[in-house]
Structure 1
Amino acid sequence: MSEEVLAQLPPPASAAPLEASATVYRTASTNGDIVWHVWGELAEGDLPLVLFHGGSGSWMHWIRNIADLVAAGRQVWAVDLPGFGDSAAPEVGSDADAIIEPLCESMRELFGLQQCDLVGFSFGGMTAGMLLAAHPELARQLVLVGAPAMGVVPKRQFELKAWRHLSPEKQLDVHRFNLGALMLLDHALIEGEALQVHVANVVRDRMQRRRLAHTDILARSLPQVSCPVHAIYGAQDALYKAWIAALEQAYATAAPDFRGFALVPDCGHWVQFERPKAFLDALLAALKDGEGA
């Protein structure tokens, strides 16, 4: 079924030149390889910029940001998290806690004792916070983008529809609905690149029983994260809706070195796709602030 949908809706044309220009690294884990795409050169005295994508995603969650980050002088390392994209699923488990140690081992193989600047989107932000709580030495700073699990929402603010049991045509309708329900405020952006990226990602999701994003696990992890922490959200993020006003204080309470909270106006959860220029400005400002750590 998923192959039929991919044939009907191939990945976006914009992904091909990006993928072709990347250097691909593979690190071995117990159940198979973890795959990284890398762009740009590492400037003297700088650190790798590591990007963790969101749930049911891949490196393509950053498809509108990679070229701009490289142009800003950063070397970008975008991983397919274990169980997503082209990376093998963990041997045991189906949530963020199952991929912490494989990610740590992969990063140590690639970077040795060198730290990175770590940016995590959504599920990847929660994962990044949990990773640094267990291994704080891995990163100089952490930027969380649209991260869940901060414990401020009394109940789930959105509902997604199941799609795997449907015909290919009906699957695409559900994918459009889910993009509008969770990812994008501007529904005019759904058709085209966003839908193509989303479908190419979700059909490769092997981690479908995730529940930690609906807990307060990130808020409970951040007290163990010693590096500077910044947060960036779309002002109308569907994860939080009216509760987004409580987030800044939640971060200030949880993170020992919380540096700043940026709300990007007029966009939803997938802020780096919906407002790439505003997101780039917010991210570069956060990274500059944390460079002295």
Structure 2
Amino acid sequence: MPTAEIARLRARATTHLTPCGDGHIVWHVWGDASPGVVPLLLLHGGSGSWTHWLRNIDSLVDAGRQVWVPDLPGFGDSALPPDGSDADALPQPLEYGLRQLLGAQAVDAVGFSFGGMVGGFLAQAYPERVAGLVLVGAPALGMVARNTVRLKAWRHLPNPAQQAERHHYNLAALMLHDPQAITAEAMELHIANVLRDRIPGRRLSYTDVLSKALQQVHCPVYAIYGREDALYLGQLDALQAALEAAPSFQSLQLIDAAGHWVQYERADAFNKALLQLLDATA
């Protein structure tokens, strides 16, 4: 049973389907297109879905943006990508879908974590498609080693209560800084999303492929990270340097008292910061 907030937003959304492998990408759209206003594309994180942006959609629509949020191929309600099983397999079906839905219209892309890699690859491969790129907690900058955050396996456990304990642990270890942020809603969103993750064993996050892609990205690139992001604890200066190596990088903004899932944990501060960046790209 979805939370009341998921049900409310889903009822307000327009849904589109575009081809992907043996099925479709499911696109959720809020708000109306406005002349001269670039549509906003939100790309969720690994083991996620559109609900990673649950606390951001209203603010962005209220600010006058039309918001497009797909379930990325292999996650949520979308089909597996036709080729490959990591972030580099997703730009092609996403671009095809955007062409079907928006024609040649460029978008501002905001990518969270795994979705940050997807956004970077999309801007690299299809420069005319992305007017501006905002990275949110993105890995693959050559700094995040495997086992930087040790998560606990849960699929083998037969007892739902034991599984829930592991999900709570994993949310605390990777996604959210404040223990009080791990609410019943956060647990429900997380569990529903990880159950529909069909792309296991992703490895590109532990490389520097995003850093390399950003060398070929020409649109303005911004970044918003939680100051307490578990992937970058004690490495914020190195993170700044890695981002500044990109030729079109503009700025990094850190949100205090926020972990990796910054747009959920500190939604008000994140929404304000994002809207300021989007105004700068307009």
TM-score bracket relative to the smaller structure: over 0.9
Is this contact kept in 1: 2:21–2:79, CA < 8 A?
no
Q: Judging changes above 3 Å, is the alpha-carbon distance between structure 1 residues 81 and 153 closer, same or farther for their aligned structure 2 residues?
A: closer
- In the superposition, the TM-score normalised over structure 1's length comes to 0.93
Matching of residue 57 in structure 1 with residue 48 in structure 2:
yes
Q: Per-residue deviation at 1:90?
A: 1.4
CA-to-partner distance for each residue in 1:50-94, whole Å, 9 max, x for gaps?
A: 000000000000001101111111110011000000100113322
Structure 2 counterpart SS, 1:242: coil
Is this contact kept in 2: 1:234–1:263, CA < 8 A?
yes
Residue 22 of structure 2 aligns with which residue?
31
Residue 94 of structure 2 aligns with which residue?
103
Q: Per-residue deviation at 1:283?
A: 0.4
Give me the whole-angstrom Cα distance separating, in 2, the residues matched to 1:172 and 1:289.
42
Is this contact kept in 2: 1:153–1:243, CA < 8 A?
no
- State percent identity of aligned pairs: 54
Q: Per-residue deviation at 1:198?
A: 0.4
Is this contact kept in 2: 1:157–1:241, CA < 8 A?
no
Structure 2 counterpart SS, 1:241: coil
The CA RMSD over aligned residues, in Å, is 1.1
Q: After alignment, is 226-235 or 123-132 more displaced?
A: 123-132
CA-to-partner distance for each residue in 1:226-266, whole Å, 9 max, x for gaps?
A: 0000000000101111112211121111x221111100001
State how 1:1-293 maps to structure 2 within 5 Å. 10-153=1-144, 156-166=147-157, 167-253=159-245, 255-291=246-282
Equivalent position amino acid for 2:72 in 1: L
Give me the whole-angstrom Cα distance separating, in 1, the residues matched to 2:4 and 2:96.
33
Q: Per-residue deviation at 1:13?
A: 2.0
Number of aligned positions between the proteins: 281
Give me the whole-angstrom Cα distance separating, in 2, the residues matched to 1:92 and 1:282.
35
Give me the whole-angstrom Cα distance separating, in 2, the residues matched to 1:124 and 1:154.
18
Equivalent position amino acid for 2:117 in 1: M
Q: Per-residue deviation at 1:154?
A: 5.5
CA-to-partner distance for each residue in 1:117-163, whole Å, 9 max, x for gaps?
A: 11000000011101211111111100000100111346642111111
Residue 5 of structure 1 aligns with which residue?
none
Q: Judging changes above 3 Å, is the alpha-carbon distance between structure 1 residues 17 and 154 closer, same or farther for their aligned structure 2 residues?
A: closer
Give me the whole-angstrom Cα distance separating, in 2, the residues matched to 1:62 and 1:155.
26
Q: Give 5+ residue unaligned stretches, structure 1.
A: 1-9
Equivalent position amino acid for 2:143 in 1: V
Q: Per-residue deviation at 1:28?
A: 1.2
Is this contact kept in 1: 2:175–2:261, CA < 8 A?
yes
CA-to-partner distance for each residue in 1:1-59, whole Å, 9 max, x for gaps?
A: xxxxxxxxx43221001001100010012321001100011122101100000000000
Equivalent position amino acid for 1:229 in 2: V
Structure 1 counterpart SS, 2:183: helix
Give me the whole-angstrom Cα distance separating, in 2, the residues matched to 1:92 and 1:46.
33
Equivalent position amino acid for 2:70 in 1: V
Structure 2 counterpart SS, 1:38: strand
Is this contact kept in 2: 1:51–1:77, CA < 8 A?
yes
Give me the whole-angstrom Cα distance separating, in 1, the residues matched to 2:183 and 2:21.
38
Is this contact kept in 2: 1:237–1:269, CA < 8 A?
yes
Give me the whole-angstrom Cα distance separating, in 2, the residues matched to 1:78 and 1:63.
10
